[in-house]
Amino acid sequence: MLQAFDRLSERHKMMELIEKIAARLPDAIKNSDQDLLRLYRGFDQLGVLQMPQYEHLVHFLQQYSATKFQTMDVDVALDFADFFLKIGLWHWDQNLMEQIEGLFMASYVQYDVKKMCRLVKLAGCNFMRS
């Protein structure tokens, strides 16, 4: 009985921690795109992003990636797109797809085979399919 209570108490503490992180997230992010993505991957593993009360976190990440795209490395931008694909938001993400496509058109000679394969996979899963 005490073990069950301890597990509930630990879960409650974890949810309180997630609440605090989620509340402070937009103000805490500066220039660490990979760290932000790592945090969101952790949220996804915990199932936080599927909870209705944290829907704003996903919207924040989409807006963040769209506004910070110009300063992101190509690999990081593709990491964001891969993450959106994993959580089911990539299919209709026209904005990021257009930005990735524009970057590719401007600098396609810098893409190696691995980046090209990632780009083809992402383009095939997006409704634009350009």
User: The tokens of 89 are what?
Assistant: 């938001």
Nearest by Cα to 96 from 53, 55, 127, 54: 127
Q: What is the pLDDT of residues 13-62, one digit of tens each?
A: 777 777 777 766 666 665 588 888 888 888 888 888 888 888 888 888 88
Q: Which of 43-47, 74-78, 96-100 has the lowest mean pLDDT?
A: 96-100
In terms of pLDDT, which residue wins out, 112 or 26? 112
**CA distances (Å), origin 3, targets 7, 9, 91:** 6, 10, 43
Whether the pTM exceeds 0.85: the reply is no
User: What long-range pairs does 110-117 form, CB within 8 A, spacing at least 24?
Assistant: 110/74, 111/74, 115/74, 115/75, 115/78
Residue 5 clears pLDDT 60, i.e. is over it: no
